Structure 1
Amino acid sequence: MYGRKRLVIAAVVSAAVVTGPSAQAVVDPSPVLFGDPAVLLRAPGPVGVAHRGASGAAPENTLAAFRTAARMGADMFEIDVQETKDHKIVLLHDSTLARTTNVEEVFPGRKPWRVSDFTLAEVKRLDAGSWFGDRFSKEGVPTLAEVMREMRPTGLGMLVELKDPARYPGVEKRVAAVLRGDKYWTAPDSRERRLVVQSFDWASVRRFHKVMPDVPTALIGKPKASTLAGHARYADQINPNHRELTAAYVRKVHAADMDVLTWTVNDAAGMRRVLGLGVDGVITDRPDVFRKVVRSGAAAA
């Protein structure tokens, strides 16, 4: 069981990581380069998870967003996975391509532009960055395997959300197959948290746990306190909306030997409040703000 005692992040420290007041302006989408980086094992404490990458500064679920998260001092980055027509695992929050790509221009006659109606080759023709800003026009929709390969040198952990799994029967096995393809992410190490898989669909989390029982899992939402012991048989985290949290509930989750990561908190005051409740980490669009709050040591009473 991946419990609270193992809430330790292996993070890469390098001059390439930019934090502090200027961090929010850093949106350079170029690769993060690390030369002989030192590895810092942080003691158990609050973890900063970049929501869809640093999505306040770069287009969500793109390599640019994940690289920016590394520069802003995130500990982990969160991603959403969907499945193409030819059963390839790609990163998109929505079940359709319309909001974050130019699919309506490239494929005007294929409304409603569901991800599952397009092959990977077709998805790769799309621009997934211009909607956020012209400088990101070369950003495409990455596959899970591409993100795993490209983000390995940063040392960040990865929080994978199975999005709409009921739409893709068997997706748990296909995601597991991709994860198994890169031993870096799945190698067990009690000192590190490199990978967690989560979903709003708790039955999907249970199915994934059966396929890869050694990979930490999380339930998005807020199960009743009376059910936590049962959920702890297959889940390692409870990840609720910050508006639903109380210190008493966090204590009950901890008593069940599970962690609490809360979402999505983007302002310093809100971060201090949830840290004061005892959460183990915060999922945020602004990992730079979270890093400042943690360094200040300030938590709201």
Structure 2
Amino acid sequence: MTLIFGHRGAAGTFPENTMPSFQEAARLGADGIELDVQMTKDGTVVVIHDETVDRTTNGSGAVLDYTYDELSKLDASHTFSEKTGFCTIPTLEEVLHWLSKTELLINIEFKNNKQKYRGLEEEVITLVRKYGLESRTVFSSFSQTSIMKCRELAPDIETALLYKFGVRIPWLYAKRLGVSAIHPNYKYIAAPVIWLTLLNNIAVRPYTVNDEESLRKLGKLGISAVITDYPDRAVRILRENR
């Protein structure tokens, strides 16, 4: 069965990485959500994709230069303000508290390949454990160092290799790193590579799969999950195959 992860919630129709977006993904029938974490000046783990707030809020500047109190005053409704009204940048704890009352899975991406956040992995692991979500969590990052640190600190929580392209034999690389899944850009992974990776007991969860043709094709290949901005579209197409 191919699972469906809402990319930043339901980012195609709601403001990405906000509570309304995550709640919409759940309402649409997604199996899980994907989100990004960074850290404020005062050490709060927050859910936002970019290293700056410029693109998705009415503010400007680096996330790391804000305290959480300052960050919480920004409007993250982005281009969906008419639909949702004012939206805050949520803390990871806020999302996990809500998610713990559901059956959703969660893929937490560490956004520390450009900006190094000291202690980010430790804080995230502490929060995941606080809400007892170890078995429902996947950690991913473009930073191999970050994933290795997660494996060292929390070997019981699943880790995944996140990459765009350039990994020719991903199942071998995943095994070498000790991760149990790959999260490749769907445009750069061919069917034979998907099959061989799955045969080697490494889960395959491509991102960000939005068009119907790709969803249908990948679903027929039996991939482990898709990460998509449009959970409603994925639910409709992939559950036809189920």
Q: Which residue of 1 aligns with 2:106?
A: 158
Contact 2:46 2:90 in 1 (8 A): yes
Contact 1:240 1:262 in 2 (8 A): yes
Q: Which residue of 1 aligns with 2:237?
A: 293
Contact 1:84 1:119 in 2 (8 A): yes
Correspondence for 1:231 among 159, 168, 174: 174
Correspondence for 1:179 among 107, 121, 128: 128
Task: Provide, for residues 3-41 of structure 1, a one-character-per-residue CA deviation record: whole Å limited to 9, x for no partner.
Answer: xxxxxxxxxxxxxxxxxxxxxxxxxxxxxxxxxxxxxxx
Correspondence for 1:256 among 193, 200, 205: 200
- What SS does the aligned partner of 1:295 have? helix
Correspondence for 1:275 among 219, 228, 233: 219
Q: Which residue of 1 aligns with 2:144?
A: 202
Q: Does 1:55 align with 2:11?
A: yes
- What SS does the aligned partner of 1:96 have? coil
Q: Which one has a larger percent helix, Structure 1 or Structure 2?
A: 2
CA distance in 2, matches of 1:93, 1:148: 17
Q: Mark the structure with the bigger radius of gyration.
A: 1
Point out where structure 1 has 5 or more consecutive residues left out of the alignment. 1-44, 105-112, 189-193
Deviation (angstroms), 1:294: 1.8
Deviation (angstroms), 1:167: 1.8
| Cα pair distance change 1:63/1:73, threshold 3 Å | same
CA distance in 2, matches of 1:130, 1:256: 41
Q: Does 1:68 align with 2:24?
A: yes
Report the residue type matching 2:183 in the other structure: N
Q: Which residue of 1 aligns with 2:92?
A: 144
Q: Tell me the TM-score normalized by structure 2.
A: 0.92
Point out where structure 2 has 5 or more consecutive residues left out of the alignment. none
Q: Does 1:242 align with 2:186?
A: yes
Report the residue type matching 2:112 in the other structure: D
Q: Which residue of 2 aligns with 1:119?
A: 67
Task: Provide, for residues 100-140 of structure 1, a one-character-per-residue CA deviation record: whole Å limited to 9, x for no partner.
Answer: 11114xxxxxxxx1000111111111111153222322310
Report the residue type matching 2:91 in the other structure: T
- What SS does the aligned partner of 1:68 have? helix
Report the residue type matching 1:258 in the other structure: I
- What SS does the aligned partner of 1:229 have? helix
Contact 2:8 2:21 in 1 (8 A): yes
Q: Tell me the TM-score normalized by structure 1.
A: 0.75
Deviation (angstroms), 1:295: 2.5
Task: Provide, for residues 223-267 of structure 1, a one-character-per-residue CA deviation record: whole Å limited to 9, x for no partner.
Answer: 331x63353252111011111111211122223321000111112
**Range that drifts further, 164-173 or 196-205:** 164-173
**RMSD (Å) for aligned C-alpha atoms:** 1.7
Contact 1:67 1:151 in 2 (8 A): no
Deviation (angstroms), 1:159: 0.6
Q: Does 1:133 align with 2:81?
A: yes
Report the residue type matching 1:48 in the other structure: I
Report the residue type matching 1:66 in the other structure: F
